Amino acid sequence: MRFFLVASMVVLCFIGISEGGSLRKNFYRTSCPQAEQIVKNITQQHVSSRPELPAKLLRLHFHDCFVRGCDGSVLLESTASNTAEKDAIPNLSLAGFDVIKNIKDVVEAKCPGTVSCADILALAARDAVSVQFNNEPKWEVLTGRRDGTVSKSSEALINIPSPFQNITQLKQIFASKNLTLHDLVVLSGAHTIGVGHCNLFSRRLFNFTGKGDQDPSLNPTYANFLKTKCQGLSDRTTTVEMDPNSSTKFDGHYYPILLQNKGLFTSDATLLTTKQSRNIVNELVSQNKFFTEFAQSMQRMGAIEVLSGSNGEIRRTCSVVN
């Protein structure tokens, strides 16, 4: 019996680590024991005065992981000889960099050269969303990522899922990151918080097939409402809630809205176009089910192509390589 228990513990420990490759729980337990609490405290301080921040940090984490994996490469600034991911078109509206810098500065003062920017971003995204839930973590973040030293805008254009893409294109991108259709539908639920710029969906309102028409799959009443907000195809400044009347509350509201054909982007509406994806949407109408599945998919996304061991580096400043 003792052998069985020991063997079971070994297997469980292996599973806990292998889910994220070389990532593990409390990676900085001995090297910087205050690290995760520092991230949590500073993130909470910023969110208390900036309710839009959870959506911003969550998006920043997503965009980081889909290009070269979760390596903090989205935080790097462009140089005279290189245009970084941060300056790619899909990333021009990213925000929250100041929060990551604030956290990194404090962590560096406590534990120089120890905690990666990639881990700080992964933790801050989780902690920002969790503020709404009295800081009860909504998913586990395994740590041990190292920072990448390469950041190219051209790679962001290729790898970041687009709001204009259909289900086939989205499945291909997710599959290239070892994520499934299920992960795609679950992670799309992050659109329960945040806003979208009109130019990312205005074609659905004003010129869907190039004939000045409207996307027939879009709820007509909702389309009329959106037309009162967006001034036309060229409107690049106006923003609209992705989840109507619920854009700062992380909940399961996205899926009932989607089933009413009120998904804002083509990438939302397309989740209803196959039987398999629509079935997943129906399952996730249950908020508890969504929270459970989102936690699992976030762990899988947070483990995409992570750098570990002697790969990459621990940046001293998140915006520049050492």
**How far apart are alpha carbons 270 and 293 in whole angstroms?**
20
151 burial (CB, 10 Å; 0-12 / 13-18 / 19+) is buried
Instruction: Round the CA-based radius of gyration of the chain to a whole number and report it.
Output: 20
If one counts every other C-beta atom within 10 angstroms of the C-beta of residue 201, the result is 24
Catalytic residue among 46, 63, 182, 191: 63
- Note whether 229 and 125 are within 8 A (CB): no
Catalytic residue check, 61 = no
Backbone angles phi, psi at 313, to 5 degrees: -155, 175
Dump the DSSP string for 197-259: EGGGTHHHHH-TTSSS---TTS-HHHHHHHHHH--STT--S-EEESSTT-TTS-SSTHHHHHH
Closest CA to 23 of 158, 90, 116: 116
SS3 116: coil
Rounded alpha-carbon distances, angstroms, from residue 126 to 43, 60, 197, 255: 10, 11, 24, 21
Q: Work out whether the CA dihedral 114, 120, 123, 127 comes out positive or negative.
A: positive
Q: Please say whether the beta carbons of 304 and 197 come within 8 A.
A: no
According to DSSP, residue 24 is labeled B
- 143 by DSSP, 3-state: which? strand
Residues designated as active site: 63
